[in-house]
Structure 1
Amino acid sequence: MSDPDLNLLLTLDALLAEGSVAGAARRLRLSPSAMSRSLARLRDATGDPLLVRAGRGLVPSPRALELRDRVGPLVQEAQATLRPAAALKLEQLEREFTLRTREGFVENFGAALLARVSSEAPGVRLRFVPKPDRDSTPLRDGSVDLETGIVSASSGPELRTQALFRDRFVGVLREGHALARRKPTAQRYAAGRHVAISRRGTSPGPVDEALAAVGLSRDIAVTVAGFAEALALARGTDLIATVPERHTGHLRDGLVSFELPLALEPFTVSLLWHPRMDGDAAHRWLRGCVRETCAA
């Protein structure tokens, strides 16, 4: 059995609303003969006469009366589906967005982002979840709306990205640390004991590569998975932590930060999302909020 022609729903709606072939033809800007042919097709499809001659007019059959209340809403829903989305009304928006970020993002940008969102769309809720890896599956499956991070070869090739800010690595010490009283050189930096940061726990990072380029290596006393843990250890010991400067701004309160005496290039922290959200007006608005908050 062939699939029904859904275009006939529009014709049926017009015929049942007008109660005549001529009226339905005018409504749909068709000729009466074209409308008559469509009525014949509808009768074949439904197995019912639908409109029956009564004197000089047509009257609906019982099946037509049954369909009349169902067809109208169907046609209206289909027309609404195929129209462009209604203009976004932020004051009426009720929605929760999930953002996946590394530690430091909420501490440095969360309050300003929440204030911006709350002032423009008080019905919007934000949910921040940790980012333990670079797997882009949560963006693909829709469990995460936005993600921040460094775009790399492991990032999904289909993802959309937009730069948020430039950052660089800095060294961090507790107040009173011996290195804080002397100019940090590459040799003095390498000679200290360090807390390293690695989510996988093994891979050498850009700091170790920069040290190796000048024939040095650092003494790593402990490895942790995140910035907050590294800074907590630096705060309570003589270990040196090396963290992104802007991303950890408030996390470094009360600590001494210094420019690394190494040839390390700055890096870009970006916003990532799945392309299926490109046309979503609310999602586009939130992306703008995040971008402008980070640029402030």
Structure 2
Amino acid sequence: MTEPDLNLLIALDVLLAEASVAAAARRLGLSASAMSRTLGRLRESTGDPLLVRAGRNMVLTPYAEEIRQRARNASFEARALLRPSSADFNVARLERTFLIRSNDGFVVAFGAAMIAAAAQVAPSVCLRFMPKPEKTSNALREGRVDLEIGVLGEMGPEIRLQTLFRDRFMGVVRKGHPLSGEKMITANEYVSFGHVVVSRRNNTYGPVDDALAEVGLKRKIAAVVPGFSAALAIAQNSDLVALIPASFLIAEPDRLHAFELPVITREITISQMWHPRSEVDPAHRWLRQLVLSVCRNKIPD
């Protein structure tokens, strides 16, 4: 009996995760034609089409859906077996790209410090920051990211997490704005100007609106943008008021005027989250400690 080609395992995992020959090719750094040939070999090995055409897209066959998680687990186990043991771990020799999902505010506030700290001890490490369009554990479960950073969302019970710091929202206006000369902003002053809010899903109502409603007030939403950088850019060049996490303003000490909100809102806890498969990986443990140290250095308890 011919032994299966275990080199196909990684390709199988990526193909089932992406459900696309083109996307799998990009992820593995291969040409589309090379990936198509690999899919042909996988079909021959498994005796199943794995991916079939459905309109303009490709979809997984029932068998492919059945083995998807098994392929994912086997791929991670193979990678773990071929990495140096903890006893031989030397961060100075580490060559690895870590995929980190976070919002743009975290990258602006902490990204440069994290990259510098990593380069100082692990010059061959690359930190790849990725956007987070949704708050689910799918990317962690499927191994598409190493770390998720942000507010705990709809994560499964198996996901590990560690608190990095506690944050709060603040109002932000341009220097020279009528509100920038006020020491204490009243709720009436706060709602007397238009607001730019951040939302990826066009949800413009939040805790600050609940608090304003309790005193019979309401914000006028003049603009909705997908990220905090865009909100700050608009606030800097208009009379609109932005609502920004205080941590984001670490990188913006002089360009804008920040003020405490005139209503009470709850603090938000920023955590780093990872899948249990990475729990004892020495390189991943080093990464988690790096993230924690950088955050604690910039925002002490």
TM-score (norm 1): 0.68
- Cα separation, partners in 2 of 1:279 and 1:102, compared to 1, 3 Å: same
Query: Which residue does the alignment assign to 2:210?
Result: 209
Aligned residues: 215
Q: What letter matches 2:170 in structure 1?
A: V
Task: Check the 8 A contact 2:102/2:130 in 1, yes or no.
Answer: yes
Q: Matched residues in 1 for 2:98 and 2:90: separation?
A: 16
Aligned to 1:287: 288
| One-letter code aligned to 2:157 | P
In structure 1, runs of 5+ residues without a counterpart are 1-79
In the other structure, the counterpart of 1:88 is 89
Task: Give per-residue Cα distances to partners, 1:24-59, cap 9 Å, x unaligned.
Answer: xxxxxxxxxxxxxxxxxxxxxxxxxxxxxxxxxxxx
1:163 aligned onto 2:163: yes
Instruction: Assess if the C-alpha contact under 8 Å between 2:149 and 2:271 holds in 1.
Output: yes
Residue in 1 that maps onto 2:266: 265
CA distance in 2, matches of 1:246, 1:187: 26
What is residue 219 of structure 1 aligned with on the other side? 220
In 2, are the aligned partners of 1:231 and 1:251 still within 8 Å (CA)? no
| TM-superposed deviation, 1:260 | 0.6
> Deviations for 1:138-196, whole angstroms, at most 9, x for unmatched residues?
111111001110113x2233211101111111100011111222331011102211111
Counterpart code for 1:165 = F
- Give the AA of the match of 1:120: V
Return the alpha-carbon distance in structure 1 between the equivalents of residues 140 and 296 of structure 2. Answer: 23
Per-residue CA deviation, residues 238-264 of structure 1 (Å, 9 max, x unaligned), is: 000011011342146411100111111
Alignment of 1:1-296 (within 5 A): 85-152=86-153, 154-182=154-182, 183-202=184-203, 204-251=205-252, 253-296=254-297
Local SS of the residue matching 2:88: coil
Kindly report structure 1 stretches of 4+ aligned residues shifted beyond 4 Å: none
Letter of the 2:180 counterpart: A
Kindly provide the amino acid, as one letter, of the partner of residue 109 in structure 1. Answer: F
SS at match of 1:289: helix
Over 3 Å counting, the alpha-carbon distance change for 1:269 and 1:158 in structure 2 is: same
CA distance in structure 2 between the partners assigned to 1:189 and 1:117 by the alignment: 41
Q: How far apart in 2 are the matches of 1:213 and 1:155?
A: 31
> Percent identical across equivalent pairs?
47
> Displacement of 1:84 after TM fit?
6.4
Matched residue type, 1:133: E
Quick check: which has more Rg, 1 or 2? 1
Give SS of 1:139's match: helix
Distance, in Å, in 2 between the alignment partners of 1:239 and 1:212 is 20
**Offset at 1:88?**
1.3
Question: When the two structures are superposed, what TM-score results if normalisation uses the length of structure 2?
Answer: 0.67
